[in-house]
């Protein structure tokens, strides 16, 4: 069975995957930013310019498997072209590395994912010498990755940090529509949602199913873990399954005590590796996110591509900054966590303002629900209130205010919610949950591709080779404009607004290399900056 090639903005050291390709050279020095994927006992030397790995090449090989015992395995790949061998040599290295990865047996992919996930950066764009030819590299690397995914059956995540890289890679993929194994109805849905995202009309609701892909517990699993810590006897633990979940949580909270419960939430749902779905969601050009999850994984994934989310209600909202509402509390503020029935009932009291934010989104945006069963009491109450507000006794039913991406077909649940949202199943009811979740990732990948602005690399010199004659002429004209904009111009001045537009078009990015780290490779140490428009647009 063929695998899929995802393109995603993320930090590869924090993305949950089975295998990671790490660029290096014959000296086995890697960038300091790869420190977290290497075992401590293999770090032979470390300074500001990088890390020397205590391994050795055997003959002319270009790939070394880094020994380890954890679920994620690192592979060192020689990408430093110090002999002028060109892109073909880099691509051959990618093929060799992916073939070596395929020979390693993986009994079960990380966190029960349906397919093994292999992550890699834009190889050779740091010390490898291809930084100035990033456009040519991406055009040739993507087909190589697709060939490997088809041949070996695993999924590949091409992980990029810079806005120019993402915009260019997505443009290449839009020209090759066969890269997504999705039925026509899901392709049509992706086009609709991508258009809504581009126009600033889409908001995201993120449920526990998204974080389950990062190894965090669902609601039922959370109650089971709490029961294991509670000390309840077997009869009482068996009785918990016969209670409504909120009442089970209330009993467990009483047995554990509030302090122990808060300590558990802080520890269990704290920072950690995020799933591919978190990164795909954070990449979308969406300004408003709502979640019932306690963990910080969406915020971490967004920060890794330069999107600093204001987390409500704890942070002060900033004009133009995207935000994430934690409807049920936050592990960093465990006293705020909603778990018991009493805490749910407070929605009409102290938490009414938070519910009002979701009310507003359902009235003014199209809300995309991901990873939720839509059985949460808060969601049921909020949907009813919105429906009552817009449908008086003599009014016709209004448009649906959102789309639910369900893993598998459930006709009864779809009918239950049909007045409020459209429910779209990823697969038939007899499909395994893991395969259905993977198809959801593929759909999110396509939505992200279709919604990415097509001009983020226009003025980046590393992508000049990708431009058409018309685009090249336009880029030259805009470079003349850039030369006339005073250095350091900031909004709200006219020059500042023009400077911000030029940055969104790739001006001044210099292939992702940081001025304060000239010796560190750009593919591993680029400091991303999100210059996408930070406001909603009409229409």
- Summarised one tens digit per residue, pLDDT across range 406-430 is 998 888 888 878 888 889 999 998 8
**340/370: higher pLDDT:** 370
CATH class of 5-179: alpha beta
Q: Which helix (H) or strand (E) holds 211?
A: helix 208-212
511 backbone φψ class: left, alpha, beta (φ>0; ψ -120 to 50): left
Q: What is the arithmetic mean of pLDDT over 456-475?
A: 87
Q: Which of 53-57, 139-143, 284-288, 345-349 has the lowest mean pLDDT?
A: 345-349
- The torsion angles phi and psi of 428, rounded to 5 degrees, stand at -70, 165
CATH class of 193-215+271-451: alpha beta
pLDDT single digits (tens) 88-138: 999 999 999 999 999 999 989 999 999 999 999 998 887 677 777 888 899
Tokens representing 144?
């190589």
Say yes or no to pLDDT of 514 above 80: no
Q: Which helix (H) or strand (E) holds 238?
A: helix 234-240
For β-strands 5-9 and 19-24, DSSP reports them as unpaired
Distance in angstroms (rounded) separating the CA atoms of residues 64 and 167: 31
Q: What is the arithmetic mean of pLDDT over 2-17?
A: 95
Q: What is the arithmetic mean of pLDDT over 209-219?
A: 92
pTM over 0.85: yes
- The torsion angles phi and psi of 172, rounded to 5 degrees, stand at -60, -45
Query: In the β-sheet with 366-370, what is the strand arrangement from edge to edge?
Result: 310-312, 323-326, 288-291, 202-206, 366-370, 402-408, 421-427
Q: What is the arithmetic mean of pLDDT over 211-221?
A: 91
Tokens representing 484?
């006339």
Domain ranges of the chain: 5-179, 193-215+271-451, 471-538
To the nearest 10°, the Cα dihedral for 430, 432, 438, 439? Answer: 0
Say yes or no to pLDDT of 497 above 90: no
Q: Which of 94-108, 256-270, 369-383 has the lowest mean pLDDT?
A: 369-383
Most distant CA pair in the chain, distance: 81
Instruction: Please say whether the beta carbons of 132 and 124 come within 8 A.
Output: no
């Amino acid at each position: 069975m063929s695998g899929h090639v995802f393109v995603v903005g993320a930090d590869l050291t924090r993305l949950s995957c089975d295998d990671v390709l790490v660029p290096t050279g014959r000296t086995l020095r890697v960038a300091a930013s790869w420190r977290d994927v290497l075992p401590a006992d293999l770090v032979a030397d470390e300074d500001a310019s990088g890390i020397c790995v205590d391994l050795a090449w055997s003959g002319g090989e270009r790939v070394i498997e880094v020994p380890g015992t954890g679920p994620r395995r690192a592979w060192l790949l020689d990408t430093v072209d110090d002999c002028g061998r060109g892109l073909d040599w880099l691509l051959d290295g990618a093929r060799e590395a992916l073939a070596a990865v395929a020979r390693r047996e993986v009994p079960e992919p990380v966190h029960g994912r349906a397919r093994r996930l292999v992550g890699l950066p834009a190889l050779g764009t740091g010390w490898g010498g291809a930084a100035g030819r990033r456009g040519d590299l991406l055009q040739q690397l993507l087909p190589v990755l697709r060939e490997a995914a088809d041949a070996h059956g695993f999924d590949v995540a091409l992980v990029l940090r810079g806005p120019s890289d993402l915009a260019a890679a997505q443009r290449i993929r839009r020209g090759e529509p066969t890269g997504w194994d999705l039925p026509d109805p899901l392709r049509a849905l992706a086009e609709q949602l991508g258009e809504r995202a581009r126009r600033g009309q889409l908001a995201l609701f993120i449920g526990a199913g998204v974080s389950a892909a990062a190894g965090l517990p669902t609601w039922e699993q959370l109650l089971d873990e709490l029961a294991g810590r509670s000390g309840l006897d077997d009869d009482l633990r068996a009785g918990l399954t016969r209670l409504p979940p909120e009442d089970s949580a209330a009993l467990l909270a009483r047995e554990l005590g509030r302090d122990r419960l808060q300590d558990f939430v802080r520890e269990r749902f704290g920072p950690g590796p995020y799933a591919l779905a978190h990164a795909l969601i954070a990449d979308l050009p969406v300004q408003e996110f709502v979640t019932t999850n306690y963990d910080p994984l969406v915020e971490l994934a967004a920060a890794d591509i330069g999107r600093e989310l204001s987390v409500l209600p704890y942070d002060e909202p900033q004009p133009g900054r995207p935000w994430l509402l934690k409807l049920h509390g936050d592990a960093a503020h465990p006293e705020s966590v909603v778990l018991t029935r009493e805490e749910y009932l407070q929605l009409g009291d102290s938490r009414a303002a938070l519910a009002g934010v979701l009310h507003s989104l359902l009235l003014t945006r199209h809300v995309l629900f991901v990873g939720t069963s839509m059985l949460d009491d808060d969601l049921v109450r909020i949907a009813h209130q919105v429906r009552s507000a817009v449908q008086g006794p003599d009014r016709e039913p209004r448009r649906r205010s959102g789309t639910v991406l369900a893993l598998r077909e459930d006709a009864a649940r779809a009918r239950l919610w049909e007045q409020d949202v459209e429910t779209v199943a990823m697969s038939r009811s007899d499909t395994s949950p893991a395969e259905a979740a993977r198809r959801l990732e593929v759909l999110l990948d396509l939505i992200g591709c279709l919604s990415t602005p097509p001009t983020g690399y226009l003025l980046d010199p590393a992508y000049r080779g990708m431009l058409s004659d018309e685009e090249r002429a336009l880029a030259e004209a805009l470079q003349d404009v850039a030369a006339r904009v005073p250095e350091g111009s900031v909004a709200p001045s006219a020059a500042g607004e023009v400077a911000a537009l030029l940055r969104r078009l790739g001006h001044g990015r210099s292939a992702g290399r940081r001025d304060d780290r000239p010796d560190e490779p750009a593919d591993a140490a680029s400091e991303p900056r999100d210059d996408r428009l930070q406001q909603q647009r009409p229409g």
